[in-house]
Chain A
Amino acid sequence: MQQPVEDMATTKARLKELIVSHLSLVNVTPDQIKDDAPLFGEGLGLDSLDAVELVVMLQRHYGISVEDSEVGRRIFASVNALAEYVQANRTK
């Protein structure tokens, strides 16, 4: 397990920024995204194209490969779930 290079709050804030910028979200600022809100379906209303884009975002910014769509479904459930996964698996 990697030692986190930053604390969880910073990681969550950075993830929210990346979500807004990578997915070109309109009418949503990073601080408007709740930590535990669902990212897909309701909540932010992201779709299948956003899901694969987030996979690339994780590769580019954290060096993490998400091979499995099952894993993807789990970790993209909310910012909380994503941040935990990132802290545990990041190589950058």
Chain B
Amino acid sequence: MPDCIAITGMGCVSAAGNNVDGHRRGLRLRERLCSISTTVGPATPYPVFEVPDPALAATPDEMRVAKLALKAAREALVDAHLDEFPPGCRVGVFLGSTTSCQLNDIEFQRAYRSSGQVWPAPPERYFTGHLAERLAWQLNLPAGPRWVIANACASATDAIGMAWEAVRQELCDIAIAGGADELSPVSLCGFHSLGVVSPVPCRPFDRDRAGLNLGEGAGIVVLESARSAARRGRETKIFVAGYGAAGDGHHMTAPHPDGRGLELAVRRALKAACIEPADIAFVNAHGTATRDNDRIEGRVLGRVFGTGVRAVSTKGYTGHALGGVGGMETIFTAMGLAEGWIPANIGFENKDPDIPFSPPTEPTPIDGRYAMSTSLAFGGGNAAIIIEHDSRKGIPA
């Protein structure tokens, strides 16, 4: 069918793995690879999920987040067999991010405060660091849209959803979509000031959860129509089937108590995919492990999908990678559907009486055609994306 939009490539880097394969292994083995950060203070150590590869450290001319994005994008393009693009092809880049959108450099600002000197390198790095423009330049991509979506924690999910719309409506032929963020001391101090960071590895949906852990990384997918993939000889069985987004219209830092925005986003995605809640085999939940998020999201998922819903948060493996995590979670959702399993919701031990379900504590086989990934953003934005696995649906190459 001409308007089936396929995921033809995936690339992912986080504390949980150096590539998609690494994540597959790490999630199966329930590996929890966090380190301790004393950025906020020696008396306030926090677990953080850091990408270990020293080659991805920031350099004077490039932010770390840009290196993470490039790594994942390269993997996705190789996976998609796109070492070159068909002639006349328009390629869009749609990336979610938070850390690349502000000039957050503590030492740079400290120097200015004390001496009035403006170091030249950090602003240069910032102004040449628009993630989508930079990635397109580094990969020498054909012309097309170059968006960075700054929607806080839902950025990457929104980026993939809008990329889906863009390909469907032929704003471009191929989209590179997802998100990236780096572990930023400013972000950690910010979430600490809100009192939502956990002093222990996070426990999504658990009765005793004490907040989030910050993480970093990038999750990027290649989207194109099934027809375009077939023309290139690329098999397709994973599709983006629907996307929905909605705002709470409530408060800057507190989600709406009834989760009305999330419920709307979920129902809009279902409608876009022309399916019912019963068709969803599992949900990769936002599940940050804050008291508020998990209670509200948990109730919405229970209300929409029933108390038997298979909902799992993977933030126990990756941490909350802010603008990048939606891309990772789309990939985990696609992987789970294609391979027939979902990972354990690591960190969960005891059911919360306020949350109507218990997530899986072991890798669990699933069988189904559709799955959903949800994201709830700081500021009340909500996004849901539906992935479809159907080996009959792809056009034979």
Contact B254 A56 (CB under 8 A): no
Q: Does A26 contact B (CB under 8 A)?
A: no
Q: Does B252 contact A (CB under 8 A)?
A: yes
Complexed CA–CA distance, A56 and B254 (Å) = 18
Identify B253's interface contact among A49, A55, A69, CB under 8 A: A49
Interface string of A33-77 (1 = CB under 8 A from B): 000000000000001110010011000000000000100000000
- A47 surroundings in chain B (CB, below 8 A): 251, 254
- Kindly report which residue of chain A lies nearest to residue B291, judged by CB atoms: A69
Complexed CA–CA distance, A47 and B254 (Å) = 10
Q: Does B115 contact A (CB under 8 A)?
A: no
Complexed CA–CA distance, A13 and B330 (Å) = 53
Q: Of residues 229 to 286 in B, which have CB atoms within 8 Å of A's CB atoms?
A: 251-254
Contact A52 B195 (CB under 8 A): yes
Complexed CA–CA distance, A52 and B292 (Å) = 15
If over half of A's interface residues share one DSSP class (helix, strand or loop), that class is named, otherwise mixed; here it is: helix
Q: Does B194 contact A (CB under 8 A)?
A: yes
- Kindly report which residue of chain A lies nearest to residue B195, judged by CB atoms: A52
- Kindly report which residue of chain A lies nearest to residue B254, judged by CB atoms: A48
- A56 surroundings in chain B (CB, below 8 A): 193
* Chain A proximity of B60: nearest CB distance (Å): 33
- A55 surroundings in chain B (CB, below 8 A): 195
Contact B251 A69 (CB under 8 A): no
- B195 surroundings in chain A (CB, below 8 A): 52, 55, 69
* Chain A proximity of B191: nearest CB distance (Å): 11
* Chain B proximity of A30: nearest CB distance (Å): 24
Most buried by B among A47, A48, A55, A56: A48
Complexed CA–CA distance, A49 and B253 (Å) = 7
- B193 surroundings in chain A (CB, below 8 A): 52, 56
Complexed CA–CA distance, A56 and B40 (Å) = 14
- B253 surroundings in chain A (CB, below 8 A): 48-49
Complexed CA–CA distance, A48 and B255 (Å) = 11
* Chain A proximity of B46: nearest CB distance (Å): 15
Complexed CA–CA distance, A68 and B252 (Å) = 22
- B194 surroundings in chain A (CB, below 8 A): 52
Complexed CA–CA distance, A49 and B195 (Å) = 10
Residues of B within 8 A of A (CB): 193-195, 251-254
- Beyond A48-B251, A49-B254, A52-B194, 12 additional pairs, beta carbon < 8 A: A47-B251, A47-B254, A48-B253, A48-B254, A49-B251, A49-B252, A49-B253, A52-B193, A52-B195, A55-B195, A56-B193, A69-B195
A sample of 15 inter-chain contacts (CB < 8 A) reads: A47-B251, A47-B254, A48-B251, A48-B253, A48-B254, A49-B251, A49-B252, A49-B253, A49-B254, A52-B193, A52-B194, A52-B195, A55-B195, A56-B193, A69-B195
